[in-house]
Amino acid sequence: MPLLDPDTLIGHPYKNPIRGYSAEELQAATNNYDQRQVMAYDDDFKLYKGFLQDRPVSVMCFLGHNSKWAEEYCYNNIVFASQMSHKNVLKLIGCCLETEIPTLVFESVESGSLDYRIRRRSRPHFKPLLLAHRLKIAMEIANAVAYLHIGLRRPVVFRDIKLSHVLLDEQNVAKLYDFSASKSIPEGETHIKDAVLMGTAGFVAPEYMMTAYSNEKCDVFSFGMLLLELLTGKAIHSLAHTAQDDRFFLLDYVKNHVENNRLQEIVDPVVVEDRSFPGKEPQLLAFVLLIFECVSESPADRPTMMDVAKKLRRMYLSVI
């Protein structure tokens, strides 16, 4: 079966033409896959900084220890990324078919992953992400997810939105990447049915956990949890531990702080101490209220990603 058969077409098959590279070229580009060049990783791959034909690139090398899933995730990335054309989706440039599992080449993202920028503060030359930066990044990722939902022939549900699946380029422009778990909604259908649940604990919508059916509103829920990490600077599992290890307790914990005028106690200190924008409380409150909209228990009560992107744009414009 060809990679882009009719069942996998969600955009124009030649929207983002990709080229082939040799294994030797990619070894040279990454200095023989030097571990010091790793800027992001997941269970099934590592993403290396590289330099190829006078241009910086990002090289995704899949790990063979879980070859069945790694191969499936790799081809999923090729299928979806090759059909994308959006400034906030990481651009696939090419691939190498000489390796056991194809190695993928993407555009350069020198600043690494968003979770690294938010949480790894002890490293040298750390540059904090202030409120305006975070609102801009949130707006850009919302735009990317909205594009997946309404900008293609068939809606694509990303199904694993989280900070580690957002990369930042040299200008801190956000790039959504890793389509390993993504699926398009079949023609004439409104949901995707799974035999095996996908996603990351803490970010998975409750209705998907109960029924194994997912659609765009599951992405909205995950995005709301991403916004919560962006606001607090803490991982969901860390926050949940504070709030008795339960997602609903966690949301009640945040709501309690809002209702008792203690919101700043749970906001990332980097944001609280940001003196470039002293009157930030209305924006922080609006941000929290948007989080609660996104993570509403009922999918029908959640906004669309386009509505989320518009609200984040208004917030961002109010602080610049």
- CATH number of the domain within which 289 lies: 1.10.510.10
Mode of pairing for the β-strands spanning 103-107 and 92-96 = antiparallel
Do 24 and 159 reside in the same domain of the chain?
Answer: no
Do 102 and 124 reside in the same domain of the chain?
Answer: no
Count: domains in the chain: 2
What pLDDT is recorded for position 241? 59
Q: Which of 34, 43, 54, 160 is catalytic?
A: 160
Place of tokens 């919508």: 205
With bands split at pLDDT 50, 70 and 90, how would you rate the model's confidence at 157? very high
The count of other CB atoms within 10 Å of the CB of residue 245 is 10
Distance CA 226, CA 191 (A): 22
Place of tokens 């941000």: 287
310: which strand partners?
Answer: none
Do 67 and 139 reside in the same domain of the chain?
Answer: no
Do 97 and 162 reside in the same domain of the chain?
Answer: no
Whether residue 311 is contained in a domain is answered as yes
pLDDT of 9 over the 90 cut: no
Q: Write down which residue in 57, 82, 107 finishes a domain.
A: 107
CA distances from 238 to 121, 122, 234, 243, 250 (A): 16, 18, 6, 9, 10
* CATH number, position 55: 3.30.200.20
Higher pLDDT, 280 or 48: 48
Distance CA 124, CA 271 (A): 20
pLDDT of 1 over the 50 cut: no
Do 169 and 190 reside in the same domain of the chain?
Answer: yes
DSSP string for 236-284: HHHHHHHTTS-HHHHHHHHHHHHHTT-GGGTS-HHHHT-TT-S--HHHH
166: which strand partners?
Answer: 176
Catalytic (active site) residue 160: yes
Do 223 and 289 reside in the same domain of the chain?
Answer: yes
Do 128 and 84 reside in the same domain of the chain?
Answer: no
Distance CA 149, CA 19 (A): 27
Do 99 and 145 reside in the same domain of the chain?
Answer: no
pLDDT of 230 over the 70 cut: yes
What is the pLDDT averaged over residues 222-227?
97
Backbone angles phi, psi at 304, to 5 degrees: -80, 165
Structure tokens at 103: 């190695």
Do 213 and 68 reside in the same domain of the chain?
Answer: no
Backbone angles phi, psi at 130, to 5 degrees: -80, 180
What is the pLDDT averaged over residues 58-63?
94
Mode of pairing for the β-strands spanning 213-214 and 192-193 = antiparallel
The count of other CB atoms within 10 Å of the CB of residue 123 is 7
Whether residue 92 is contained in a domain is answered as yes
Asked if 178 contacts 71 with a C-beta cutoff of 8 angstroms, the reply is no
Q: Which amino acid is at 161?
A: I
Do 267 and 190 reside in the same domain of the chain?
Answer: yes
Q: Write down which residue in 76, 107, 138 finishes a domain.
A: 107
With bands split at pLDDT 50, 70 and 90, how would you rate the model's confidence at 43? confident
Do 93 and 226 reside in the same domain of the chain?
Answer: no
DSSP string for 135-183: HHHHHHHHHHHHHHHHSSSS-EE-----GGGEEE-TT--EEE---TT-E
The span from the first CA to the last CA of the chain, in angstroms, equals 50
Q: Determine whether 12 is exposed, middle or buried from the number of CB atoms within 10 Å of its CB (0-12, 13-18, 19+).
A: exposed
What is the pLDDT averaged over residues 113-137?
84
pLDDT of 245 over the 70 cut: no
pLDDT of 5 over the 60 cut: no
- For residue 93, give the H/E element and its range: strand 92-96
CA distances from 203 to 163, 196, 228, 275 (A): 11, 16, 11, 32
State which residues form the domain around 118.
114-319
Average pLDDT across the chain, whole number: 89
Do 175 and 30 reside in the same domain of the chain?
Answer: no
Share of the chain above pLDDT 70, in %: 89
Q: Write down which residue in 107, 128, 159 finishes a domain.
A: 107
